[in-house]
Structure 1
Amino acid sequence: MSTFTSDGLRLAYDDIAPAGGHERTIILIHGFSSNRHEGWRRTGWYAAFERRRIRCIALDQRGHGESAKPHEPEAYARASLARDVIALMDELGLGRADVFGYSMGARTALATALAAPERINHLILGGVGGKLIGERALPAGNPMAEAMLAADPDTITEPMLRSFRQFADEQGEDRQALAAMTGVTNPPFDTAAMADFPSPVLVVAGQRDDGAGDPEELAARFLDGHAVTVPGCDHFSAIPHALTKAAVFDFLDGLLDDPYAR
């Protein structure tokens, strides 16, 4: 594990370069209540990138894993999470890189790309789709925070909320920090800036990921957008799936079929 400082917070990351050199570099940004090990190493992405001679740099987002975990909601504005990614690139002397985010990590990845488009070679947004457009991070009543802070997880009746709470407990995450993260209201993404974003973008989500929406709808917002739907997968099963990996590597190699292009 390595660390760096962003906004005064100590953040953890892995930097894995294949033996004998690498041909490209990708930054990996995990989802809510996950961490770099659970989101990327256990699901086989570290090994997959190493086999492809790709240097992968996986960040524990603030509030997660081995990174700092402030309990103040204002620490978790999406713009701050994007600054962490740019600060990591600066720390490592990376002028440009590919960026791959999943779920909440996809939101951080997109915010990073729109804030600094000149730093992005290829952008991969996983576990999201058309519902990303115009969304607000804070639902009425903030049920995710309530799920994270519930004394008894058996009282959580909504399946998706129960899944995230169970996941957080399994990873030993700081549930107070996670609840604080859900207390931020972020502005909608700038669709005009998305339309002008110059680099290729892949949107990939599971067919049964009801919370994501249609990947095609989101991909269509970009100049060079591509969409892939992974059959039979929900939000959690799509990330380790071989078809997701195939879509990502085809995209990086420029081999996706024309019907996905926008």
Structure 2
Amino acid sequence: MPSFHNGSVEIAYLDEGEGDPIVLIHGFASSMSVNWGYTGWVSELRKAGRRVIALDNRGHGGSSKLYDPEDYHIGTMAGDVGALMDHLGIPRADLMGYSMGGRITAYLAYSAPERVRSAILGGIGIRLIKDAVLAENVAQALEADDAAGITDPLGKTFRSFADQTRSDRRALAACMRGSRRLMTSEEAAAITVPTLIAVGTVDDVAGSAHALAEVIPQAQVLDIPDRDHMRAVGDRVYKAGVKDFLAQRP
């Protein structure tokens, strides 16, 4: 897997296919392979005539593991995406992020709209701007020596996922503490690029997609029927809706 350095941080990435570029940004405790490869997204988008770029966020997959929460601010992680685009000579691209990757995508759509042709916010609804997940509960679950003693339901879910993906749990705990910055309503309302919000209808982690669409001007909503936060990622309704959105956006 190729990689490059953004400062001292090594970032692993993939770059496959030809056509209009789309950059994929995975969720917390995942990786580009788990989030986008195993679920069929990379092959699906390539078949649709797209150049597919994805990265392992810092602290995840094949990228550098860091243990200071200060290294995981959303703006810093968004900087890795911009640096990857610069490394590949891509001035502007469609961006799709899932969960934490959706937060990064939204941050870029707000702060650097000239780089973002469209923004697809997967697995993140109104919790982009309010009622965020309690980061400390999840971080402590990741740091626990014995998973059997974890009582927080969401902490237990992410600890199980981190164990399944064989992640560096100390790096993830730092990421969870550092990356939970909420976007303000004013910042979200300033997003003007074409935006699709795609959330499972039984996803209690992301919050309401429709509530967020009331804040982001002209945002479209894609409901992913009967899918929760973990099971929506590879859903065929999600894939079909994204391909339609990409085909129709200016």
Sort the TM-score into its range (normalised by shorter chain): over 0.9
Partner of 2:14: 14
Question: CA–CA distance in 1 between the matches of 2:121 and 2:10?
Answer: 26
Q: Is the 8 A contact 1:138 1:182 kept in 2?
A: no
TM-score (norm 2): 0.94
Three-state SS of the structure 1 residue aligned to 2:15 is strand
Q: Are 1:109 and 2:105 matched, yes or no? A: yes
Three-state SS of the structure 1 residue aligned to 2:23 is strand
Partner of 2:75: 79
Deviations 1:93-140 (A, max 9, x none): 11100000001111111112212111101100011111221355764x
The list of structure 1 runs, each at least 4 consecutive aligned residues, that deviate by more than 6 angstroms after superposition, is: none
Q: Is the 8 A contact 2:72 2:179 kept in 1?
A: no
Moved more, 152-161 or 31-40: 152-161
Of 175, 186, 189 in structure 2, the residue corresponding to residue 181 of structure 1 is 175
Partner of 2:188: 194
Partner of 2:90: 94
Partner of 1:217: 211
Aligned residue pairs: how many? 249
**What letter matches 1:148 in structure 2?**
L
Question: CA–CA distance in 2 between the matches of 1:76 and 1:208?
Answer: 29
Deviations 1:44-68 (A, max 9, x none): 1011001101111011000000000
TM-score (norm 1): 0.90
Q: Is the 8 A contact 2:133 2:205 kept in 1?
A: no
Question: CA–CA distance in 1 between the matches of 2:97 and 2:216?
Answer: 17
**What letter matches 1:29 in structure 2?**
I
Q: Is the 8 A contact 2:139 2:155 kept in 1?
A: no
Identity of aligned residues (%): 40
Relative distance call for 1:84 and 1:138 in structure 2 (3 A) is farther
Of 47, 63, 70 in structure 1, the residue corresponding to residue 59 of structure 2 is 63
Three-state SS of the structure 2 residue aligned to 1:125 is strand
* Equivalence map 1:25-64=2 (5 Å): 25-64=21-60
Q: Are 1:5 and 2:5 matched, yes or no? A: yes
Three-state SS of the structure 2 residue aligned to 1:154 is helix
Q: Is the 8 A contact 1:168 1:175 kept in 2?
A: yes
Partner of 2:197: 203
Q: Are 1:169 and 2:156 matched, yes or no? A: no
Partner of 2:151: 157
Three-state SS of the structure 2 residue aligned to 1:182 is helix
Relative distance call for 1:144 and 1:169 in structure 2 (3 A) is same
Question: CA–CA distance in 2 between the matches of 1:137 and 1:215?
Answer: 16
Question: CA–CA distance in 1 between the matches of 2:195 and 2:55?
Answer: 20
Question: CA–CA distance in 2 between the matches of 1:151 and 1:101?
Answer: 31
The gaps in structure 2 that reach 5 residues or longer are: none
Give 1:2 deviation, angstroms: 1.2
* Equivalence map 1:115-130=2 (5 Å): 115-130=111-126
Give 1:159 deviation, angstroms: 3.0
Partner of 2:224: 230
Three-state SS of the structure 1 residue aligned to 2:178 is coil
Give 1:70 deviation, angstroms: 0.9
Partner of 1:134: 130
Deviations 1:185-233 (A, max 9, x none): 7543143333232211000111110121110111222222001111110
Deviations 1:141-182 (A, max 9, x none): x11111101111111223332221111111111000001112
Three-state SS of the structure 2 residue aligned to 1:183 is helix
Question: CA–CA distance in 2 between the matches of 1:14 and 1:169?
Answer: 24
Question: CA–CA distance in 2 between the matches of 1:171 and 1:34?
Answer: 7
